Structure 1
Amino acid sequence: MNVLNPEAIDLATLRQLWQGAPVKLDDASMDRIRASAASVDRIVAGGETVYGINTGFGLLANTRIPAERLAELQRNLILSHSCGLGDALPRQVVRMMIVLKLLGLGRGYSGVKPLVIDALQGLLDRDAMPVIPAQGSVGASGDLAPLAHLIAAMMGEGRIDVAGEVLPAREALDHLGMKPLELGPKEGLALINGTQASTAISLDALFMAERVFGAAIAAGALSVDALKGSVKPFDPRISEVRGQSGQIRVASLVRELLDGSAIVESHFRCGRVQDPYSFRCQPQVMGAALDLLTNAARTLTIEAGAVTDNPVVFEDEDIAISGGNFHAQPVAFAADIIAMAMCEVGSLSERRTAVLIDPKMSGLPAFLTDDGGVNSGLMIPQVTQAALVAENRSLAFPSSVDSVPTSAGQEDHVSMAPISARKAASIAKNVAGIVAVELIAAAQGVDYHAPLKTSAKLQAVHAKVRAISPRLESDRYWADEMAALQAAVLAGETGQLFRLLD
């Protein structure tokens, strides 16, 4: 069980939680939560008009709500905001949403009672994930619709996925031995204001990107050997005089992967001067992408433990200050950066594959197949790569610059963070497919250099590829093994597991 301190969260812990590690808040968090809830009770008892506690919302913020209708106010808030559309968010994303909501509430500035924490914890403990439509949030007053669906399920509305079986929410709660949640003053707003949906989807994209990036480094190194490419571009002195940290790190990784390759030794003093940019500029391009991913990881790590609801309750003064922490612009920028970085990782991978299958460029058999003409070899898998690259380029346009005002102009600038995040996740999956095809091509290319062998580390990568995709002897049905290798990339099974900020 991971006992979480929301004030000291790190990326390694978030990665473990994304992978399903059990979790609960620490005792200090529960003390802060109780103190904040007591402060809200005192504010209500004092009769002061405070946004979100005894007023309407958005443009209706100036409407005072009488005390006897505050419970109705909170329930209506959740029901009215449960208006998402589209496919359901993946279970691992919903789980991360719940964890992030616990982290934010655990800071003790939201005014919710421990009963709310118990309800959220109950879902995690029972592997019960509310069914949350992916579309409907603009990432401004928090991820209103997705979070409303989360809370509505806890109230007995909507649907809940219980260990893979989707049930009506009230039936699921009965099955789980949980009572429908009843919200007190401020609690509804505390639960649906916040960036937890955008941040959860972005973290999902980031952790997939880590794995895909590691596989792309391995694929790029294996492709260098398949091409009998030069290792001189990975000389540390070249990267050190430029000084970009990502470039230095990538060059080092490629050198390590190629170290000990008999294929490299076989052409060490050949007259070949320069390889195509997709091979020799890997440190520069992949390094720049790595720097962007690293910066995005820092932003998302901060956001994971942030207080992003509204108003913010300061229990030492019994004051609730209305601001804009729910605006997800930092997350939107981070997600768009992940999308753009991964788009380039995929573009570079596809170009290396295109070189390997072109006999004029690689010196290898056309499309990496014997008896060409009768056999098409890797001709069409590279076309699939091209299709994914084109799709990624369309998806990589930043949503964070495309605000659409909402709520009768009250929310006149929004972040579009969840849209950016969903696109980043789609691109990461697409790049996993692109890299899978390159791994097949690079393994095939290396096989043509037998009996010469690649390095020990790349032989291990080659073996993992061959366990899924045997050496191509003649044309065969490609889709299943390409999908299986794509899944292996996303699972971190190809190349080394890459870790940002570790």
Structure 2
Amino acid sequence: MITLTGNTLTLAEVERVVYKNEPVALSEQAVQTIFQNRQKVYELIEKKQTMYGINTGFGKFSDVVIEPDDLQDLQLHLLHSHACGVGEAFPEVISRTMLLLRANALAQGYSGVRPELVKQLVSFINAKIHPIIPQQGSLGASGDLAPLAHLALGLLGEGEVIYKDKRMPAIDALTQEEIAPLQLEAKEGLALINGTQAMTAVGVITYLEAEKLLSQSEHIAAMTMEGLNGIIDAFDADVHQIRGYEEQIDVAKRIRAILQDSQLTTKQGELRVQDAYSLRCIPQVLGACWQTVNYLREKLMVEINAVTDNPLIFSEDNKVISGGNFHGQPIAFAMDFIKLGISETANIAERRIERLVNPQLNDLPPFLSPNPGLESGAMIMQYSAASLVSENKTLAHPASVDSIPSSANQEDHVSMGTIAARHAWQILTNARRVVAIELICAMQAVEYRGVEKMAAQTKALYDQAREVVPSITKDRVFNKDIEALTSWLKAYEYECTMH
């Protein structure tokens, strides 16, 4: 059971809730704080004090005062008008993460909602009811308005959800779970959609998957080292210690550990004096890629426990303040940064693929073909990898440097953080396929060298991956192999040498 306090959620706990379906509950203190700050909202409404989004319009309409009898309709109209997301829906894993992060943000109480609203979010998590949320349409300030509006509609029994692996009207899922649709009160529609939970949810999933992919890439690169009789001296601890980057030092250490008992690596001067950069510089490049992952983790650890609503209720100090915590710039920058790291993970993997298949660069059969000339072997797999890394280069263009004013120029600078997050996630999807292609080629190469000479760790990876993709004994439709191994890498958990 994960207990939400609003400010103690960890990335490991998010992973357990999202991937392991661990149940969630609100802490008693959180319920009390939420209740106390809600009383402040009632008090201010009773005094007819003008407060943005509570008894005023939104955005450019912030100067329009709303009559007391219309406050509930104001919130419902907000959700209906802002549910303008378009395109394909986020997968359930991201929708579920959004529910969790929104519940945690509201648990601090500063948004002024009722406990019932936060409990509705918790009920959706525990019942595994995941709203259908279109991916496109957010500017990343004032938060992820459009995606979160679609999430919020589900709480009301509107819109659609995924429930028990079926897409259905939200009200049908609520009926089956005997959950009453939420009835919005003053401030609550705004509190549900004013936040960064779409971009942050995509960021969390991207981070978790990128961490796994980088670890896998290290293992696969080590196998490629064996397939090409790579020179192990380049991974010597002294070399990396005097450069000084912790991540680079760690990558070199892990590669040495993976290959410690290999009979396929060489020493400098045995076959050649030094390797090409895609082998020799694995620690320098992947170490730098780890830096982008670690930077995103640092920002996510703050953001998943951040209050990103507007206005904010500080009941103890008798303050209601309109600010800008919904602005997604910190996450936008972090997502643009990790795009570079994931792209480079794929870029250097593609260069190793080229070295595995190009007969001018190795002494292996051309294109690892079982019958060169008659059969093309892995020739076109390298084409696919090259296409994917080229596509990643266009997706890696920073989204966070763009801004288009909205709401009649009231919201005149936005983060585009959700675009940055979505592109990072897409880059990751592409990169995983490139790494899968490298694994296919590396396995074929070590077969020519002698799998009995492999290190224990790379041999374990080889044995398990061979259960997914058999050896290339003749040309076949390799698309099936690439997709099968890609899915396996996404689901696979390494038992050793993880970051």
TM-score by length of 2: 0.97
Structure 2 counterparts to residues 281-320 of structure 1, below 5 A: 281-320=281-320
Q: Which residue of 2 aligns with 1:412?
A: 412
Residues 178-220 of structure 1: CA distance to partner in whole angstroms, max 9, x if unpaired? 2221111111111110000110011111111111111111111
**2:74 is the counterpart of 1:73:** yes
Q: What letter corresponds to residue 463 of structure 1 in structure 2?
A: D
Please give the alpha-carbon distance, in whole angstroms, between the structure 2 residues aligned to 1:121 and 1:308: 19
Instruction: Give the match for residue 99 of structure 1.
Output: 100
Deviations 1:432-474 (A, max 9, x none): 1000010111111111112651110111111122111112121
Task: Give 5+ residue unaligned stretches, structure 1.
Answer: none
The 8 Å contact of residues 254 and 497 in structure 2, kept in 1 or not, is answered as no
Deviation at 1:56, TM superposition (A): 0.8
Partner of 1:59: 60
* 1:461–1:495 CA contact under 8 A, matched in 2: no
How does 1:110-125 map onto structure 2 within 5 Å?
110-125=111-126
Contact 2:144–2:195, Cα closer than 8 Å, also in 1 = yes
Aligned to 1:396: 396
* Matching residue's letter, 1:458: T
Q: 1:188-267 maps to which residues of 2 (within 5 A)?
A: 188-264=189-265
Number of the residue aligned with 2:127: 126
| Contact map agreement 2:404 2:414 (CA 8 A) in 1 | yes
Deviation at 1:45, TM superposition (A): 1.5
Please tell me whether the aligned partners of residues 89 and 133 of structure 1 are also in contact (alpha carbons under 8 angstroms).
yes
1:86 partner SS: strand
Partners of 1:423 and 1:460 lie apart in 2 by: 33
Paired letter, 1:305: N
Residue 234 (structure 1) shift: 0.7
Structure 1 residue 46, shift from structure 2 partner: 2.0
* Residue aligned with 2:387, SS: helix
Mapped partners of 2:394, 2:497: distance in 1: 28
**Distance in 2 between residues matched to 1:462 and 1:268, nearest whole Å:** 26
Structure 1 residues 140 and 497, CA gap change in structure 2 (3 angstroms):
farther
Deviation at 1:156, TM superposition (A): 2.5
The equivalent residue for 1:329 is 329
What is aligned with 2:429?
429
What secondary structure, in the 3-state scheme, does the structure 2 residue paired with 1:377 have? coil
Secondary structure at the counterpart of residue 413 of structure 2: coil
Q: TM-score, normalised by structure 1?
A: 0.96
Distance in 1 (CA, whole Å) between partners of 2:169 and 2:40 is: 35
CA distance in structure 1 between the aligned counterparts of 2:188 and 2:134, rounded to whole angstroms: 22
Could you tell me how far 1:134 is from its partner in structure 2?
A: 0.9
Q: Which amino acid aligns with 2:420?
A: S
* 2:488 equivalent in structure 1: 488
Residue 431 of structure 2 corresponds to residue 459 of structure 1: no
Counterpart residue number, 1:88: 89
d(CA) in 1 for partners of 2:469 and 2:49? 68
Aligned equivalents of 2:272, 2:150: Cα separation in 1: 60
Question: Are residues 1:164 and 2:165 paired?
Answer: yes
Q: Is the 8 Å Cα contact of residues 233 and 268 (structure 2) preserved in structure 1? A: no
Residue number in structure 2 paired with 1:39: 40
Kindly indicate whether the alpha-carbon contact (under 8 Å) linking 1:263 and 1:452 is maintained by their aligned counterparts in 2: no
Q: Name the CA shift for 1:86/1:249 in 2 (closer, same or farther; >3 Å).
A: same
| Residue 498 (structure 1) shift | 4.1
CA deviations 1:33-56 (Å, max 9, x no partner) are 111111111121222111111111
Residue ranges of structure 2 left out of the alignment (5+ in a row): none
CA 1:160–1:271: 2 relative to 1, 3 Å: closer
Q: Report if aligned partners of 1:208, 1:429 keep a CA contact under 8 Å in 2.
A: no
1:496, CA displacement in angstroms? 5.0
> What one-letter code is carried by the residue in structure 2 that aligns with 1:42?
E
* Closer, same or farther: CA 494–488 of 1 in aligned 2, 3 Å: farther
Cα offset for 1:269?
5.5
Whole-Å Cα distance in 2 between the matches of residues 274 and 452 of structure 1? 25
Q: CA deviation at 1:76?
A: 0.8
Moved more, 406-415 or 269-278: 269-278
CA distance in 2, matches of 1:87, 1:451: 44
Q: Which amino acid aligns with 2:287?
A: G
More displaced stretch, 114-123 vs 174-183: 174-183
Shift in alpha-carbon separation, 1:271–1:129, aligned structure 2, 3 A? closer
8 Å contact from structure 1 (residues 236, 248) kept in 2: yes
Per the TM alignment, residue 373 of structure 1 is displaced from its structure 2 partner at its CA by 0.5
Cα displacement (A) at 1:270: 0.3
Shift of 1:268: 6.6
1:298 positional shift: 0.8
Change (3 A) 1:169 1:11: closer
Residue of structure 2 in register with 1:184 after alignment? 185
Question: What is the CA deviation profile of residues 72-93 of structure 1, one whole-angstrom value per residue up to 9, with x for unaligned ones?
Answer: 1111111111111111111010
> 1:109·1:314 contact (CA, 8 Å) conserved in 2?
yes
Q: Distance in 2 between matches of 1:405 and 1:163?
A: 40
Q: Say whether the 8 Å CA contact 1:212–1:492 is kept in structure 2.
A: no
Q: Which amino acid aligns with 1:196?
A: Q
**Match of residue 368 from structure 1:** 368
Letter in 1 for 2:433: G
Distance 1:217 1:271 in 2: 23
**Distance in 2 of aligned mates of 1:466 and 1:451:** 12
SS in 2 for 1:400: coil
Counterpart CA distance in 2 for 1:174 and 1:15 is 28
In structure 1, C-alpha distance between the alignment counterparts of 2:134 and 2:265, rounded to whole Å: 51
Letter in 2 for 1:263: L
Separation in 1, partners of 2:119, 2:179: 10
Count of paired positions: 498
Letter in 1 for 2:293: L
Q: CA deviation at 1:18?
A: 2.9
8 Å CA contact retained: 1:218, 1:496:
no
**Aligned-pair Cα RMSD in Å:** 1.5
